[in-house]
Structure 1
Amino acid sequence: MKRSLLSLLIGSMAYASGANAFVVSDIRIDGLQRVSAGTVFNSLPIEVGDDVESVQVSNAAKALFRTGYFKDIQMGQDGDVLIVSVVERPSISEIVIKGNKAIKSEDLKKGLGQSGLSEGEIFQQATLEAIRLELERQYVSQGRYGASITADVEAQPRNRVKLTINVKEGKVATIQHINVVGNTVFPQEDVIDLFELKKSGWFSLFGSSDKYSREKLSGDLERLRSYYLDRGYINFNIRSTQVSISPDKQSVYITVNVDEGDKYTINDVKLSGNIIIPEEEAELLLLAKKDQIFSRRVITTTEEILSRRLGNAGYTFANVTGIPTPDHENKTVSLTFFVDPGKRAYVRRINFSGNTKTEDEVLRREMRQMEGASANTQKIEQSKVRLERLGYFKDVTVETPPVPGTSDQIDVNYTVEEQPSGSITASLGFSQSDGLLLGGSISQSNFLGTGNKVTVGLNKSDVSQLYNFSFTDPYFTVDGVSRGYSLFYRSYDYDDTDISNYATDTAGADVRFGYPLSETESISFSVGIDNTKITTGTSTPDYITSYLNQEGKTFTNVKTTLGWSESELNRGLLPTRGYSQSASAQVTIPGSDLAFYKLVYRGQYFQPLTSDFTARFATRVGYLGTYGKTEDVPFFEHFYSGGFGSVRGFKDNSLGPKAKEKNGTNFNSIGGDFVFEGTAEILFPLPFVKDQRSLRTSAFFDFGNVYDTQCAAGVIDCNKPDFGELRYSAGIGLTWITPLGPLTFSLAKALNAKSQDETQVFQFSLGAPF
């Protein structure tokens, strides 16, 4: 007779009392749809041939339940055959999230997937409830206390379900009050100013500082703790923090209770351990001194300095720990710096990644740390800085992981993120000074990934034509000697700009060499020849025609240039830290048609003010003079001032001496033989833009002018160098390095323009150098 227990559930007393032990001759699985039979057999603790009783059958059912694949399991017997009937849990066919804006759907789904809730997975109601609570917690951490999450489960054919998660985010609660209780040493205002979180006010419209965030508050409390610890209050303690929410869940009130303790001074500073480097040198690196006020920052900085010094000696795994021992009775602290140098480390390999275009050789030749040599922290970091200064990469990072299985070897891994270093395109642009720009060019500072700079251009604008070819190999020799050469033809009609009425046609060529003096300094030498032809118009000023009548209209000059440059900038493109400066002296050699020389100095300095703001100062000074029998400097070699790269807010090339048009009343700028310019800027991030590495936004103050020390007849405003004649402007500017070319613009106000000056509030340039 056929016996069946298919109706009995796990733990059924009927099964326990009525079932007899039997030897399993076969096992049959009923009800499987997606789960494989192998999965069931792997989880089932009963095999064919086992002698089983009711307890073992019950335990087997429990084991299958623990897999999470089934919502119902029934065990039965048909003769000697064990029958397992299952009902699978449904699978998730689709997850739809509605109503979310503050957190992207992709991020929410990623979090759901990490918790086991994703499309194609088994659906469990308990997991869904846990996820709903977790999502609400995420919104609460953003200060959205009114957020609520509901979930709808819709049955689908073939034992599937569709999940719809409805999000009601609510508004971020704003901070109405922040109070620190227990502080007596420092004013309440100074302490609260340390917080990134701020009380809601007018300026809150431009940021999120008044939006409560648990993470921000944690950072603020750590900042507060550091403030006291850096000023001697070693026992400072934050007793409690209360965050109160208004009944409508729209306002937040924060109260921080602190115990300041007493101020401690340093009583003694000692070194301990295996110092390796001379103890006298190590003591000079100790920033903490006796009788100083205790400061945790001084301790951590000293640890970093000593660790770096040991790293420079090859002990990359060195560990330096500053241990303070307080004397509470005398309110003093004894400091002991324990030095554990570890083993001297050697570099096994130097690896590069991320350089999909740039050849490895280009990166490797910038390395100052060599493979097989003792690891040197300074050289590893210096190599990183040299890669950043190339201007080929947006970002450079370095890691020094130990080699597995060794205790004295590391690999040095540089990861770079490449950025456009030029273009091979037809160009179309517009500049206020040059008008419409048309042409085709190849301009690559990293040509085909070789590190060579190549420029081939055919460009035409309303006022100029330029055809040029230039090539520079920065590593002409393995020692870093560079060589370059160029050919060019340039035609310029100055009547279409703010410069006097004449045109020039110039063709020339040069060859140049550079020699590195140090990691940051180099000298250069070049020799070139050019031929310039001057064409005058009907209104050319007498000042110019007089010079041409005396010297001629065609000039062939051989020029030599000696230059020196130094750069401590952190990047080759849009730097934010360090300084650079250069000086050059150009002179025509005897035998040239004209005898003159040019001296030019340029410098810039970047000083970070905060993590987001940087101060920049820059200047340009130039002088044009003659030697031998030549008395008048060539007017077509003059310096000009005004516009981009000069004094913004004034029209390009419009400042300085002016000459009256012949038979006219207009005065046009003619430049001068001495120029002095400068700028002071505050660089700041552009709001709502995450990647700032190709952007520069600034508030600037420009000043400068160009002077004519000879003051020829018919020239006005030809002052000798005089700071009282400087022009000033202020405004905001933006530079954006795009794949199509540089874009730059400024809004500036000329502050002390005179009647003869030409001003321009908005200036921009697209697709042209700036």
Structure 2
Amino acid sequence: MKFNQLVVAGLLCSSASLANAASGNSEFVVEDIRVEGLQRVALGAALTYIPVQKGDEVNSFRITQLIRSLYSSTHFENIQVLRDGNTLVIKVSERPTISNIIFDGNDDIKDEQLQESLDGSNIRVGEPLDKTVLTSIENGLKDFFYSIGKYNADVTAIITPLPRNRVDLKLLFEEGDAADIKQINIVGNELFSDQELLEDFELQFNTAWYDFLSETRYQQQTLQGDMETLTNFYMDRGYLRFNVDSTQVAMTPEKDGIYISLNVTEGEQYTISEVELVGEMLGHENYIERVLPLTPGELYNQAEVTYTEEFISKYLGRFGYAYPTVTTVPEINDEDKTVKLTLRVDPGKRIYVRRINFNGNTITADEVLRQNVVQMEGTWLSNDMLESSKNAMSRLTYMEEVEFETVRIPGKDDQVDVQFKVKEQPSGSFNAGISYGDQTKLGLQAGIQQDNFLGTGKRIGVNVSTVSYQKSAQLSYTDPFFTIDGISLGGTVAFSEFDGSSFNVIQYNSKRWSVGANIGYPIDEFNRINFGLTYSDVELSNRGYYEQTNRFYSQFTDDQNPDAPISYTSLQSSVAWSRSTLNR
């Protein structure tokens, strides 16, 4: 903000001086307007920023407004306003156009991140270059490197002029090495040792050479996180008055080492004297009180307080109160070192779902995803149902990621839209194989499986194989949501031929046709029972005589033609139970 104020102040000063030069502190009526110096900017575009027309009477104030307006177009870096008789002459110097942007020497920041940052300052290829913002960009990038411990870093913007008022912009980075943490001191701790307190710190020092995962490079944000970790360590053990009094970060003269000192006041332990629930609990007071982990007489524990607030919020969310406010108010008694905790609960309004939308599904139809959503439109919002819906969609083999958010409806304080954002992944698989053996000879196998056929969520599979002793083919189909209740229906059709003599077993040939169907019933979110029934028609021919198989053959052999092929049918049934509690 300070930078913008300086620029505006500079423009106002230059505008006033130019206005005086143009008008000589006298008013005149403009008979003509002439703009000189235009190259890339069309005359018509420039005139749209000139708030003066022929026949207007101008003075120093009007000319100041004119200069401001032209500068606001961001096309010009220098403007002069002159008077030639009653002709208003405007001489401009256009800002050069950025032809190319080059990043050199940047390791910690990717080119895409840098370009995104430049876009925010309107620095991009094809746009006019505002040189006044380059300094702030350089300083902003230096501040970033300082925040990650690179105090020797430097950023320089190099502008290379090109023909036709174009320039190349190059950002040259000299990052240097990051400053390593030489030592972290905690001053004022008497109850716990430095080693015990620093154990959970993300920032480390004096680590072993083989510990590649330790973070010894100083980063300001990481230090803030470690200070919060230190505070939680004490607060979870009852030290309610613990405080980090001050922090000192000292740098070595070479700017390659950092010494950190944390001055703390530990205080004393506090016990819970009383826990009181205040507010509207919607008739669930008894249940909430029974499951609360906060117990009078025990040490104060900040983690349990946070858990309690989150538990009550989530519990009320089951009944449609999606935005409850749960606040813990401590009443500290420093004399007997006790604290009374008052939990103030405001459930807010019951929230209803207006609409459920899906984003990111370019292949899968919305209705396929909606089949897995147990949260209904028009009913009150349930966090449990949304999580169950998310898990159900995440278990689909063609979904890589599933997230959701609730969006409040403007003007409606009791309605939300649920936005599911999904990321699809390939839903099909293909396999093929080739083999060769001395006795089996050449073997071929191929198969294709599609779990989301044409985006319908239905599964289709085809498998074929052939080898010297056997040929087989199978077609399968399953509709996971044959009914809206989640009942699945599927079927298979298969054919196979087998030559036993080629497989070095007893001599016989067989042909088998089979048709199967299966139906599945969901018991609950995690359990499912499936019933299957398969009908097969089998033909046996070219049989050899073996005592072991003669009894079986005799049931089907025609006494008039004992060598004729025999046929029989079979009907097989199956029952299966499956349970899955996976969340993806």
Both structures adopt the same fold (TM-score exceeding 0.5):
yes
Shift in CA distance, 36/263, structure 1 to aligned 2, threshold 3 Å = farther
Measure the CA separation in 2 of the matches of 1:503 and 1:531: 20
User: What residue is the counterpart of 1:113 in the other structure?
Assistant: 119
Distance 1:368 1:448 in 2: 24
Q: Is the 8 A contact 1:303 1:320 kept in 2?
A: yes
- 8 Å CA contact retained: 1:427, 1:437: no
**2:577 equivalent to 1:564:** yes
Q: How does 1:368-767 map to 2 (within 5 A)?
A: 368-423=374-429, 425=430, 427-428=432-433, 438-459=444-465, 467-488=473-494, 510-528=516-534, 559-571=572-584
Say yes or no: does 1:134 pair with 2:147: no
Q: Is contact 2:207-2:214 (8 Å) kept?
A: no
Equivalent residue number for residue 310 of structure 2: 304
Does residue 80 of the first structure (1) align with residue 86 of the second (2)? yes
Say which of 312, 317, 326 aligns to 2:323: 317
Equivalent residue for 2:278, pick from 272, 275, 278: 272
The Cα shift of 1:457 comes to: 0.5
* Alpha-carbon distance between aligned partners in 2 of 1:462 and 1:226, rounded to the nearest angstrom: 71
Secondary structure in structure 1 of the residue aligned to 2:273: strand
Tell me, yes or no, if the aligned pair for 1:491 and 1:503 is still in contact at 8 Å: no
CA distance in 1, matches of 2:455, 2:177: 51
Give the superposition deviation at 1:114: 1.3
Q: In structure 2, how many angstroms separate the alpha carbons of the residues matched to 1:468 and 1:17? A: 93
Residues in 1 aligned to 2:239 and 2:61: alpha-carbon distance in whole angstroms? 67
Whichever residue aligns with residue 176 of structure 1, its letter is K
Q: CA deviation at 1:238?
A: 2.0
Query: Relative contact order (alpha carbons < 8 A, sep ≥ 6): 1 or 2 greater?
Result: 2
Name the counterpart of 1:624.
none
Q: Is the 8 A contact 2:354 2:378 kept in 1?
A: yes
C-alpha displacement of 1:394 = 0.8
Three-state SS of the structure 2 residue aligned to 1:400 is strand
Match of 1:239 in 2: 245
Residue 214 of structure 1: which of 220, 232, 241 is its match? 220
Aligned pairs, how many? 549
Structure 2 residue identity aligned to 1:569:
L
* Distance in 2 (alpha carbons) for counterparts of 1:209 and 1:550: 77
User: Residue 397 of structure 1: CA displacement?
Assistant: 1.0
In the aligned structure 2, how far is the partner of 1:11 from the partner of 1:503?
Answer: 111
Identical-residue share of aligned pairs (%): 39
SS at match of 1:298: helix
* Alignment counterpart, residue 262 of structure 2, candidates 256, 267, 280: 256
Confirm or deny that 1:94 pairs with 2:103. no
Deviation at 1:262, TM superposition (A): 2.0
Give the residue type in structure 2 aligned to 1:113.
D
Match status 1:362 vs 2:382? no
Cα distance 1:84–1:371, how it changes in 2: closer, same or farther (>3 A)? same
Provide closer, same or farther for how the CA distance between residues 232 and 442 of structure 1 changes in structure 2, counting only shifts above 3 A. same
Cα 1:324/1:81, change in 2 over 3 Å:
same
Separation in 1, partners of 2:242, 2:354: 46
Deviation, 1:501, is 9.5
- CA distance in 2: counterparts of 1:461 and 1:205, whole angstroms: 55
Partner of 1:186: 192
CA 1:57/1:563 → structure 2, altered by over 3 Å: closer, same or farther? closer
Q: Which runs of 5+ in 1 are unaligned?
A: 1-7, 495-499, 535-544, 572-770
Which blocks of at least 5 consecutive residues in structure 2 are unaligned? 1-13, 541-545, 554-565
Contact 1:147 1:168 (C-alpha < 8 Å) held by counterparts: yes
Matched to 1:566, the amino acid is: R
Amino acid across the alignment from 2:219: S
CA distance in 1, matches of 2:507, 2:23: 114
Q: Deviations over 1:382-441 (max 9, x none)?
A: 222211222321111111212222122122221211112223x462489xxx9x995322
Counterpart pick for 2:173 among 151, 155, 167:
167
Alignment check: 8 A CA contact 2:22 2:81 kept: no
For residue 407 of structure 2, give the secondary structure of its aligned residue in structure 1: coil
Which residue identity lines up with residue 576 of structure 2 in the other structure? Answer: G
Q: Is the 8 A contact 2:431 2:446 kept in 1?
A: yes
Q: CA deviation at 1:132?
A: 1.6
Cα distance in 1 for residues equivalent to 2:476 and 2:506: 27
Which protein is richer in helix relative to its size?
A: 2
Which shows bigger deviation, 117-126 or 202-211?
202-211
Query: CA offsets, 1:588-642, max 9 Å, x none?
Result: xxxxxxxxxxxxxxxxxxxxxxxxxxxxxxxxxxxxxxxxxxxxxxxxxxxxxxx
Task: Report the Cα offset of residue 206 of structure 1.
Answer: 3.5
Deviates most, 336-345 or 556-565? 556-565
Cα deviation, 1:693-752, whole Å, max 9, x if unaligned, reads: xxxxxxxxxxxxxxxxxxxxxxxxxxxxxxxxxxxxxxxxxxxxxxxxxxxxxxxxxxxx
Contact kept in structure 1, 2:15 and 2:68, CA below 8 Å: no
Give the aligned residue type for 2:451.
S
- Which amino acid is the alignment partner of residue 290 of structure 2? L
The 1-side partners of 2:449 and 2:242 are apart by 59
- More moved, 14-23 vs 194-203: 14-23
Matching residue of 2:6: none
- Partner of 1:283, secondary structure, is helix
Shift of 1:443: 0.8
Instruction: Give the AA of the match of 2:492.
Output: S
Q: Does the CA-based 8 Å contact 2:19-2:61 persist in structure 1?
A: no
Q: Deviations over 1:538-585 (max 9, x none)?
A: xxxxxxx99989999x999765433222221111xxxxxxxxxxxxxx
CA contact (8 A) 2:181 2:259 kept: yes
Distance 2:443 2:302 in 1: 58
The alpha-carbon distance between structure 1 residues 418 and 21, as it changes in their structure 2 partners (threshold 3 A), is closer
| Greater shift in the superposed pair: 169-178 or 517-526 | 169-178
Between the aligned partners of 2:130 and 2:74, the Cα distance in structure 1 is 8
Match of 2:337 among 321, 331, 338: 331
Please give the alpha-carbon distance, in whole angstroms, between the structure 1 residues aligned to 2:443 and 2:198. 54
1:93 deviates by 1.9
What displacement does 1:195 show?
Answer: 1.5
SS of residue matched to 1:398? strand
Query: Which amino acid in structure 2 is aligned with residue 218 of structure 1?
Result: Q
Query: Which one of 228, 231, 236 corresponds to residue 230 of structure 1?
Result: 236
Per-residue deviation at 1:150?
A: 2.1
Amino acid at match of 2:272: I
Q: Does structure 1 residue 290 correspond to structure 2 residue 296?
A: yes
- The 8 Å contact of residues 272 and 337 in structure 1, kept in 2 or not, is answered as yes
In structure 1, what is the Cα distance between the partners aligned to 2:395 and 2:228? 35
